[in-house]
Chains A and B, each alone.
Chain A
Amino acid sequence: MTAAIVGRNPLRFRVDDREYTVAELAAPDGEFALVIDGVRVTGHRHDAGDRVFVRIAGRTFVVPRAGRAAGAAGAASRGELRAEMPGRVVRHHARPGQRVAAGDPLVTVESMKLQLVIAADRDAIVAALPVAEHATFDRGDVLASLEDDA
């Protein structure tokens, strides 16, 4: 669901197959004031680059911005095990170049005051453990990369 401009004078947006007539009013920094189909809508807004925070009616929404996405977090891709949340590396259980089997522990991390073991998701060779022991990482950072055993 994104808003696309479909007309000017008056300004019209289409959202989810519905069109809205929009006028913008002056607003202080960090705020916005719009008239959408004759209804005044005010709130707070912050452009964080890859996402826009919008707060209306006591609810905060985070709208991802297409094309500006930061490094994806979560699932493994190209043999990279990424952090699903920020944290700290407690210890490495393997060294780059080492052969590991699926399920072998690679890194113990600590997030949310709990320790978690990141294990190899397949038989492979450890290519890198980019975050040093005791160093912190952010969501989406690569904790371990594996390469296939040739």
Chain B
Amino acid sequence: MVRKVLVANRGEIACRVMRTLRELGIASVAVYHVTDRHAPHVALADERIELRHAVPVSAYLDAGQLLAACTATGADALHPGYGFLSESAGFAEACARAGVVFIGPSPEAMRLVGDKLSARALAARVGAPVSPAVTIEDDGRSAAALGFPLLIKAAAGGGGKGMRIVRGPGELAAQVALARSEAERYFGDPRVYAEPLIERPRHLEVQVLGDGRGGAIALGTRDCSIQRRHQKLIEEAPAQGVPAGLVDAALAIARAARYGNAGTVEFVVAPDGRYQFLEVNARLQVEHPVTERVTGWDLVAAQLAIAAGEPLPAPPAIHGCAIECRICAEEPEHAFRPATGRIGVLRLPAGDGVRVDSGVREGQEVTAAYDSLLLKLVVHGASRPEALERMQRALAELVVLGVATNADYLARLIASAPFQRGDVHTQLIAEHPLPAAPPPPALGAAVEIAAALADPEVRRAAFAIPEPYASIGGFRN
């Protein structure tokens, strides 16, 4: 068993990993860029090491500094979280060379599933349905044979990055060029391929744990169809209406890859119920808490046990329904563009069946330097309707002021008829903008009056108390 783990991440996932480490009696080491020096994950760790880089996000991608921090602190293992270096086979190898246990799959398995083309070949070999695809080596002309609309993806990609929808031959060459450029920039690998676009699909996935020797178990399914910009916003477990054979296909892929540790096998499900293998995410995912809620398992603890060579347990039973909302600093009414600002007021919901995985605190500056995810609201209920009610309650309790968030939008989305029915697909958000209704006059006036009374000048005029007494307080009637 490991004794000290360096958590090579930030935000909510670093905090979440450290909490399990604390419960297991394992020491934790935080790494941080100076812009994060007051961030919660730094305070939560037993030790902390600053990473230096001119570009904040690059600090967390600096393998050399991360391994030096392991040496300096005596950390014998490293948890990568998600994003950053979590799916870098080269980094996992560097950890192994440095004698640091990388808590994740082997570099070989990571390479095999990380490259979309080799992952597709593997899936096809074990009999999982895959889409017809064309590797694009020209300006895109070769892909036109697939027909339109089609989807261009990066071979080294994943998580929706570098994806382009092409509706007709006229835009093919330009979109191929952009996709290549994005692929090169994000993944250092310009290879792209095309596949037919499935309209209004659901995005279903299977959480697996592998032992790295050909054994794997499934921890149930998740529906992650609610997306914007190919990024998930709401996830739930278990998925409704899972096609027969889908979970077995996921297990066959994980076993054939000799996959070790926690991973996710993703599928696209067409409206007619046919499904296709999409990709394997070789990491702990953002949405793992919904699986934890319905299984009662701690996936980080499971990752540590697998890394220590322990055998896989029997697969868990699934209880009730869990839903996660990703609360992001963004403006839904402006195409979900990222928002910035200082979090002036933060009130987190609590109570039975509510879990909050937060990586922010009051007073924190939210900048464009990092991902826009602030916190995750996760609820659990005995049934889907109960979980939906609980999420509405939790979203109403949540207060994040000082930076625009998607929280109110998510409340409207959860209340909407399609979502309540479970009639979801990945284009639901694009097709149902759900703008906020204008406030009724009394509410609108209350908002304006409350806002006006935040202004010291208005307060002086309103209460006519000379400074400095006005700011001392206690004179309010």
Inside 8 A of B458's CB, which chain A residues have their CB? Answer: 5
Q: Does B244 contact A (CB under 8 A)?
A: no
**Bound form: Cα–Cα A34–B442 in Å:** 13
**Bound form: Cα–Cα A47–B160 in Å:** 36
Q: How far is the CB of A91 from chain B (nearest CB, A)?
A: 9
Interface core residue of B344, B395, B401 (most chain A CB under 10 Å): B401
Inside 8 A of B367's CB, which chain A residues have their CB? Answer: 86, 136, 138
Does the CB pair A84–B411 fall under 8 Å?
A: no
| Residue-wise interface mask of B (166-186) relative to A, using a CB-CB cutoff of 8 A (1 in contact, 0 not) | 000000000000100110010
Does the CB pair B445–A16 fall under 8 Å?
A: yes
Inside 8 A of A23's CB, which chain B residues have their CB? Answer: 477
Q: Does B198 contact A (CB under 8 A)?
A: no
Q: Does B314 contact A (CB under 8 A)?
A: no
Inside 8 A of B338's CB, which chain A residues have their CB? Answer: 85-87, 111-112
Of B182, B340, B402, B453, which is within 8 A of A115 by CB? B182
Chain A residue at smallest Cβ distance from B366:
A86
Of A8, A15, A36, A63, which is within 8 A of B462 by CB? A8
Chain A residue at smallest Cβ distance from B396:
A58
Of B185, B404, B441, B476, which is within 8 A of A62 by CB? B404
Chain B residue at smallest Cβ distance from A64:
B451
| Residue-wise interface mask of B (104-123) relative to A, using a CB-CB cutoff of 8 A (1 in contact, 0 not) | 00000000000000000000
Q: Does B448 contact A (CB under 8 A)?
A: yes
Chain B residue at smallest Cβ distance from A44:
B399
Does the CB pair B337–A85 fall under 8 Å?
A: yes
Q: How many A-B residue pairs have CB under 8 A?
A: 173
**Bound form: Cα–Cα A11–B445 in Å:** 15
Which of A25-33, A95-103, A122-130 contacts the other chain? A25-33
Q: Does A92 contact B (CB under 8 A)?
A: no
Q: How far is the CB of A107 from chain B (nearest CB, A)?
A: 14
Q: Does B93 contact A (CB under 8 A)?
A: no
Does the CB pair B345–A44 fall under 8 Å?
A: yes
Chain A residue at smallest Cβ distance from B368:
A86
Does the CB pair A36–B345 fall under 8 Å?
A: no
Given contacts A16-B445, A60-B401, A137-B368, contact A113 B229 (CB under 8 A): yes
**Bound form: Cα–Cα A86–B339 in Å:** 7
**Bound form: Cα–Cα A36–B446 in Å:** 7
Q: Does B447 contact A (CB under 8 A)?
A: yes
Given contacts A18-B441, A115-B178, A138-B340, contact A48 B448 (CB under 8 A): no
Q: How far is the CB of A63 from chain B (nearest CB, A)?
A: 4
Does the CB pair B395–A34 fall under 8 Å?
A: no
Given contacts A24-B476, A34-B446, A84-B337, contact A3 B452 (CB under 8 A): yes
Inside 8 A of A55's CB, which chain B residues have their CB? Answer: 399, 401
Does the CB pair A90–B445 fall under 8 Å?
A: no
**Bound form: Cα–Cα A103–B388 in Å:** 48
Of A13, A56, A110, which is within 8 A of B452 by CB? A13
Does the CB pair B451–A3 fall under 8 Å?
A: yes
**Bound form: Cα–Cα A1–B445 in Å:** 9
Q: Does B417 contact A (CB under 8 A)?
A: no
Does the CB pair A20–B476 fall under 8 Å?
A: no
Does the CB pair B446–A30 fall under 8 Å?
A: no
Does the CB pair B476–A25 fall under 8 Å?
A: yes
Does the CB pair A112–B344 fall under 8 Å?
A: no
Inside 8 A of B161's CB, which chain A residues have their CB? Answer: 113
Q: Does A93 contact B (CB under 8 A)?
A: no
> What count of chain B residues pass the 8 Å CB interface test?
60
Does the CB pair B337–A13 fall under 8 Å?
A: no
Of residues 9 to 67 in B, which have CB atoms within 8 Å of A's CB atoms?
Answer: 55
Q: Does B297 contact A (CB under 8 A)?
A: no
Q: Does B145 contact A (CB under 8 A)?
A: no
Given contacts A3-B448, A5-B461, A46-B402, contact A138 B443 (CB under 8 A): no
Does the CB pair A115–B445 fall under 8 Å?
A: no
Chain A residue at smallest Cβ distance from B445:
A15
Of residues 116 to 143 in A, which have CB atoms within 8 Å of B's CB atoms?
Answer: 134-139
Q: Does B436 contact A (CB under 8 A)?
A: yes
**Bound form: Cα–Cα A54–B335 in Å:** 22
Inside 8 A of B350's CB, which chain A residues have their CB? Answer: none
Does the CB pair A56–B395 fall under 8 Å?
A: no
**Bound form: Cα–Cα A111–B161 in Å:** 12
Given contacts A5-B461, A15-B445, contact A45 B454 (CB under 8 A): yes
**Bound form: Cα–Cα A110–B369 in Å:** 12
Chain A residue at smallest Cβ distance from B341:
A48
Chain B residue at smallest Cβ distance from A48:
B402
Given contacts A22-B449, A84-B337, A115-B182, contact A1 B395 (CB under 8 A): no
Q: Does A41 contact B (CB under 8 A)?
A: yes
Does the CB pair A11–B340 fall under 8 Å?
A: no
Of residues 442 to 477 in B, which have CB atoms within 8 Å of A's CB atoms?
Answer: 442-455, 458, 461-464, 476-477
Inside 8 A of B337's CB, which chain A residues have their CB? Answer: 84-86, 111-112, 139
Inside 8 A of B401's CB, which chain A residues have their CB? Answer: 30, 44-46, 48, 53, 55, 60
Interface core residue of A11, A87, A113 (most chain B CB under 10 Å): A113
A: residues with CB less than 8 A from B are: 1-5, 8, 11, 13, 15-16, 18, 20, 22-26, 30, 32, 34, 36, 39, 41, 43-48, 52-63, 65, 84-88, 90, 108, 110-115, 134-139
Interface pairs (17), CB distance under 8 Å: A3-B448, A13-B449, A15-B449, A32-B450, A41-B450, A45-B454, A46-B344, A46-B401, A48-B401, A53-B401, A56-B446, A58-B395, A60-B408, A63-B448, A85-B334, A88-B368, A139-B340
Nearest 9 interchain pairs by C-beta: A86-B368, A46-B344, A85-B337, A46-B401, A53-B401, A63-B451, A30-B345, A52-B451, A3-B452
